[in-house]
Copies of this chain bind each other. A is one copy, B any other.
Amino acid sequence: MSSPSAAAVKAWLLDLQNRIIESLEAVDGKPFLRDEWQRPEGGGGVSRLIEEGNVFERGGCNFSHVMGASLPPSAAAARPELAGRAWEAMGVSLVLHPRNPYAPTVHMNVRFFTATAQGQEPVWWFGGGMDLTPYYGDAGDARHFHQACRDALEPFGASLHPRFKKWCDDYFYLKHRAEPRGVGGVFFDDFNELGFVQSLALTQSVGNAFLTAYLPILMARKDEPYGERERDFQAYRRGRYVEFNLVWDRGTLFGLQSGGRTEAILMSMPPIVKWRYAWQPEAGSPEAKLYSDFLVHRDWLAA
């Protein structure tokens, strides 16, 4: 049974999904599909997806509300004492893969968890964040994205942005390649330290900042001319996105372990991906610049 506060979170999440989809549809010109689904064990979701759009080659913004009798370990990595408790989770998850290789892939997620056990106070927490994955990096784009993230967190305390920025760098990291996923953003989890009202407000601020953070970058890049070379590099780099999500991402593993809807979870998979052996960009090329200047941990907002 959801508490009144869970109902408030849910109403906001559904509204956030609607607002985001409305904007994305206006940009693309093609409507997103809508798939509503129920889970046999309780809960369900609303998946909103696009494929072969004018701007988005594949992407989605999904709401889900799921619950279970025993919290899977992937959802309680930082709090092993909660594994096995009854749990309830709701969230909005977004991944967009634009067709234009000059337009970065983006991810955003906001989520609310509750874990309950007989005779004990429920434990609840928020999590979320967003991060940007360019194929051809642009320093101005990276600054704009990080600025929007900082602006969203600033009202809740000056220490939060540096902390969540570093958390993002640490989380979206391909350990098997010693390589960041992209230029980062913010990430937080297990967050309840401001109390329910302010922790929710912070999460809302992050979710609401998504369009501000991403749309100007997308609008500036979506019509840049490109050729086979750029498409090929994009397909190769998308392989890293697959590797991260399937090998390291707790959200993906949690979804697949907890009987989530596979097709909605794997909406994050890019439409076309290439792998090739031990490939290296030519020295001095724009592709080499991605590695040297963007796939490095960096304070994008340093003066």
Contact = CB atoms under 8 A, between A and B. Distances in A.
A103 to B, nearest CB: 19
Interface stretch (A141-149, A218-226, A272-280): A272-280
Contacts of A229: none
Contacts of A243: 246, 266
Given A243-B246, A246-B246, A256-B176, A270 B275 contact: yes
A273 B273 contact: yes
A239 B273 CA distance: 9
Contacts of A54: none
Given A176-B262, A242-B246, A256-B247, A274 B271 contact: yes
A92 interface: no
Contacts of A35: 278
B262 A271 contact: no
Nearest to A242: B242
A79 interface: no
A215 interface: no
Given A176-B256, A239-B269, A262-B176, A49 B277 contact: yes
A287 interface: no
A271 to B, nearest CB: 6
A49 B276 CA distance: 11
28 contacts: A33-B277, A51-B276, A51-B277, A58-B275, A58-B276, A58-B277, A60-B277, A176-B262, A176-B265, A177-B262, A235-B272, A239-B269, A242-B246, A242-B273, A243-B246, A243-B266, A246-B246, A246-B247, A263-B278, A266-B275, A269-B275, A271-B274, A271-B275, A271-B276, A272-B272, A272-B274, A273-B274, A273-B275
Given A175-B256, A242-B246, 9 more contacts: A49-B277, A58-B276, A235-B272, A243-B266, A246-B246, A246-B247, A271-B274, A271-B275, A271-B276
